[in-house]
Chains A and B, each alone.
Chain A
Amino acid sequence: MSPGRVCSDMYDTILVPTDGSAGADAALAEAIALATAFDATVHSLYVADTSAAQPETGYVDIVESFERIGEETTADAVDRVEGAGVEAVSAVRTGLPHRTILDYAEEVDADLIVMGTHGRTGLERYLLGSVTEKVVRTADAPVLTVRAPDDEDERGDEGAAGAER
């Protein structure tokens, strides 16, 4: 995109929820391209999913380790965004993923939420894609979905190549 010819008021704040997956990576790349063209700020948000931690199984430890992963993941994202010459903000929140993403989007008045979708096959797509699906269905802000490169296929190819060796 050429940054010269833009309606720069269209996107000012772009939110990219991340979980460190290939889908989130693809979403971040798209967000950087848009932010470059529209002179926007990219927010990288990691949600430490409290539904994955039960009180009886060391709740505090698990949430803390999620938060640590979140700090690292969003720091990597900020490096990538700033490396492209775009302003970046990182945030780590605790809660239910889709609800927390919507709350954060409202809090920072996001003009666009960019999220990854996964490959077309397998259980992984069903489970991990469900947060994106919920956000698409319920967000007030426009949601841009980006499909991750077909990593299942690549993995399948590698597996086949490995079997031949």
Chain B
Amino acid sequence: MADATDMRFVVAVDGSDAAERALDHAVAMTLAVDGDLTVVYSVDPDVYDTGGPDPQGDRSEAERRLIVEDVEDAEARGEDVLADAADRAAETGLTVETELLYGDPVETVASFATGEGYDGAFVGHRGLSEREERLLGSVAKGLVERADLPVTVVR
């Protein structure tokens, strides 16, 4: 590891309990080595299916039923989650940087952490089964696979 004053960490949050534990871990580590911490949230608008129990029929029916969340709403949600994270870190005396990213967090968090030259990343993991993970993807798995930096996955 590099000199203590040079250590920079990044933690990805999404408002989940696992992400909060990852944040606590990242804060403790950052304080321990007197480093810097950046908290990131990736804005990835939700897609809602407003339809009933029947499977979607043709494409026009899918268009009627699916509502893509407004990007501004998703941004506002991200800002809230980041503000909460910054407050939580501040309780320990640590001032953090925050950063909104845009896109699928599996991609954006990995490329941000690698591209910005961080020394380590922290991410929460909800404990998905192998099958769920294959279907939904997992930010933790994406980071571990793609990022060149050490990644701590916190349950």
Contacts and interface: CB of A to CB of B under 8 A. Distances in A.
Interface of A: 1-2, 5-7, 10, 30, 33, 37-38, 112, 117, 132-133, 136-147
Contact of A142 (B1, B34, B154): B154
Given A142-B152, A145-B153, 19 more contacts: A1-B1, A1-B4, A2-B4, A5-B33, A6-B32, A30-B1, A37-B33, A112-B152, A132-B144, A133-B144, A136-B144, A136-B153, A137-B129, A137-B130, A142-B154, A143-B152, A143-B153, A146-B150, A147-B149
B151 interface: yes
Given A1-B4, A137-B128, A142 B32 contact: no
B101 interface: no
B33 A145 contact: no
A145 B130 contact: no
A144 B129 CA distance: 19
Given A7-B28, A136-B125, A145 B4 contact: no
8 contacts: A37-B32, A37-B33, A137-B130, A139-B155, A142-B152, A142-B155, A145-B150, A147-B149
A140 B126 CA distance: 11
B150 A144 contact: yes
B17 interface: no
Given A2-B33, A137-B133, A142 B141 contact: no
A62 B52 CA distance: 58
B25 interface: yes
Contact of A7 (B31, B150, B155): B31
Interface in B98-155: 125, 127-130, 133, 140-141, 144-145, 148-155
B74 interface: no
Given A142-B153, A144-B152, A10 B28 contact: yes
A133 B83 CA distance: 32
B141 to A, nearest CB: 7
B87 to A, nearest CB: 20
Top 5 closest pairs, chain A to chain B, by CB: A2-B4, A33-B1, A6-B32, A144-B152, A142-B154
Given A1-B33, A5-B32, A136 B4 contact: no
Nearest to B129: A137
A136 B29 CA distance: 19
B107 to A, nearest CB: 15
A140 B148 CA distance: 24
